[in-house]
Amino acid sequence: MGDAVFHYRALLCAQPGDDAVLHLLGLGLSQMGQADAGAPLIRRALRVDPVPAYAVTLGGVLCEQKRFTEAERILGGAASADPLLAEAHHHHGNALSGLGRAGEAVRAYRRALALEPALADACLNLGTMHERQGQPGTAERCYRRAVALMPQSAVAHYNLATVLHAEERLEEAETAYRTAARLNPDHAPTRYNLGLLCHDLGRLGAAERAYRQAIRLQPTHADSHWNLSLVLLSQGRFAEGWDEYEWRWLTRDFQHGHTRYPFPSWRGEVLDGCRILIHAEQGVGDTIQFARYVPLLVQAGAEVVLSLPRSLDRLTAGLPVQRLFEGDSVPPVDFHCPLLSLPRLFGTRIGSIPAAVPYLAADPAVTAAWAPQLGPRRAPLRVGIVWAGNPTYRKDRTRSPGLAAFAPLFAVEGVEFVVLQQGDGRGDLDGGPPLPPLMADPGPQVTDFMDSAAIMDGLDLVISSCTAPAHLAGALGRPVWVALQAVPDWRWGLSGEATPWYPTMRLFRQTARGDWNGVFTRMAGALADLARAAASHASAA
């Protein structure tokens, strides 16, 4: 391109008013990344001869510069002047897309493809619009058409992979990602997304390699660092894992959470006599799990100010801290620290996880108030159940089994069930599977996690999906069984029924992706054993 630009410059010196040379020189400069110099030359060409082809070139350059309003005006004019010019409609679609006018953009791309069915870039861009509009099937068809038209396009294979990945068609998506990586080995997002996919498939070694390749290509790619940390922590490689976990503050989901406090960050300085603000940063389950570090700060001589979600108000009232909730003014402190940075600063390793339970407790008065509402026992064993987490969580579809998956448990004799489920998951109670005759549902009267804790005090066992009540039961030191997807959250590790985070917890893992039936069949067997033991004990008493 540089040689061509040199020759066009020479031609322009000889023919300073030649519109074709002006157009080609402006296009060449723009393609070399010099749009500020190229666009004025294309404008000059357009003034000499206002042909739609020149307008299309100028509009395309303006789109690259994100000057979408001007581009839309020029390209709309070109499409009107020559309705049979497919590229005019294609680039007009790009400008409309940049302006957020999705419906008009789709129509423009479709007109372009009706005129020129082999216009591969229009297929790609139309696919992108359908993907944004939540139409993955239509997007996939567009991307497959683009792949067929230009099989050597890394972008086409990558876009196809992303839509397949979102639909959890993981094996197909992997093939497309690997093709895109072969065609463009230096594209960091391809390596990153391949890492996500391998992680979802449980191939953590391949995921780690992909994340590290993405980091090599783009050393400051925060999402690659953060997801690498999840792989490392899952494997118990805490030393490097906690360091990589700090990259979360530069990802889109976290970037505003760490900088809103005008106090120095705590980096391990001596805390004796100091006041430190510890702020919750993620879900309620995370807050419950890592509240175990607060006593360590107090033991180090710190005065702790703890910022929490309002739903944990009563539950945390017994902690030796000053508590803050949304809307409260923050007092002056010497340091601040995010809650989930404490394991790194305390040098936590697998063998040094602070796991003394209980470290939270229900108020005895609240427990006593709930006892008559639960009523007298109707079976030797009383078991609380939770089947779903927050549906807005990206992986909730794979971690939340739903109420129907609990059916094998309901066939176990000698068990009374108590519904602990809150939130959207309660919808499963309407029109769901047949419920056991011995089931109590205090859910509508539960106002916060203190109520849940008080109910758990009256249970023999809690059975939960991977969500906040599981952490609550573990923090209370209550017996709890957790149903885990094949590739669980990092905190549960990769194997085994025990977890160093909660001594009273037992993990039941999927042995195949999506196989909840296997989990609950095994759990039903264990529950039957427990119920028989409880019945035997009751008879002996």
Radius of gyration of the chain from its Cα atoms, rounded to whole angstroms:
30
Where exactly are the structural domains of the chain?
A: 2-180, 186-251, 275-352, 364-540
Sequence-ordered list of residues with C-beta below 8 angstroms from that of 146, at least 6 positions apart, any chain:
120, 121, 123, 124, 127, 153, 156, 159, 160
pLDDT level of residue 36 (50, 70, 90 thresholds) = confident
What is the CA 408 to chain-centroid distance, rounded? Answer: 31
Cβ burial of 423 (10 Å; 0-12, 13-18, 19+) is: middle
Supply 486's token pair. Answer: 């094949």
Domains 186-251 and 364-540 share a fold: no
Q: What percent of the chain has pLDDT over 70?
A: 91
pLDDT digits 0-9 by tens, 397-456: 899 999 999 999 999 999 999 999 999 999 999 877 788 989 999 988 999 999 999 999
What class has domain 2-180?
mainly alpha
pLDDT value for 30: 59
CB 420 within 8 Å of CB 455: yes
Supply 306's token pair. Answer: 């703890």
Question: Is the pTM value of this prediction over 0.75?
Answer: yes
Buried b (16+ CB within 10 A) or exposed e, 225-249: bbbbbbbbbbeebbeebbebbbbbb
Token look-up 């020029």 returns 74
* HEC assignment per residue over 119-147: CHHHHHHHHHHHHHCCCHHHHHHHHHHHH
What class has domain 186-251?
mainly alpha
pLDDT level of residue 18 (50, 70, 90 thresholds) = low
Token look-up 């479709």 returns 110
Right CATH for 275-352 from 3.30.70, 1.20.1280, 3.40.50, 2.70.98: 3.40.50
3-state SS assignment for residue 522: helix
Supply 378's token pair. Answer: 């109707």
Helices marked H in 438-498 = 449-457, 468-475
pLDDT digits 0-9 by tens, 84-110: 999 999 999 999 999 999 999 999 999
**Distance from C-alpha of 254 to C-alpha of 340, rounded to nearest angstrom:** 12
What class has domain 364-540?
alpha beta
| Mean per-residue pLDDT of the chain | 90
